[in-house]
Homo-oligomer: A and B are copies of this chain.
Amino acid sequence: MQLHPAEKVVVITEKLIVKGVVEIIEAAGAKGYTIIAAGGKGSHAFRATSERAAVVDDFSDVKIEVVVNDKSMAEAIMTKITETYFTDYSGITYIEYIEVLRPSKF
């Protein structure tokens, strides 16, 4: 099988807003996403628990990953989530360049 370039958007933010973030991802046309429980400290971490950051099991954040096959869709998701949520909520978003086997899946 052949590898094809694709994009992965990563969003790390408060668990509290995961529904809204997922709605933006789906409205942009992405075919799927992955959600992972996370903890931590910094601009992506829920402020009120940041002092307990070294407590690994304190997972009040989520890491959401979206693989897409369209860089403009990736950028639209990142921009919309940042503009909608990251003034009032903690969060970061970044893009990684990956390669996939079956581009029609994304």
> Chain A interface (Cβ within 8 Å of chain B)?
1, 3, 6, 8, 10, 12, 15, 18-19, 22, 30-45, 53-54, 56-57, 59, 61-63, 67, 75, 78-79, 82, 92-96, 98-102, 105-106
Contacts and interface: CB of A to CB of B under 8 A. Distances in A.
Contact of A31 (B34, B39, B43, B61): B43
B34 A82 contact: no
A44 B32 contact: yes
Contacts of A39: 34-36
Copy total for this chain: 3
10 contacts: A8-B96, A31-B42, A32-B43, A34-B39, A82-B101, A92-B105, A94-B99, A94-B100, A95-B98, A95-B99
A63 B82 contact: no
Given A82-B101, A94-B99, A101-B79, A33 B42 contact: yes
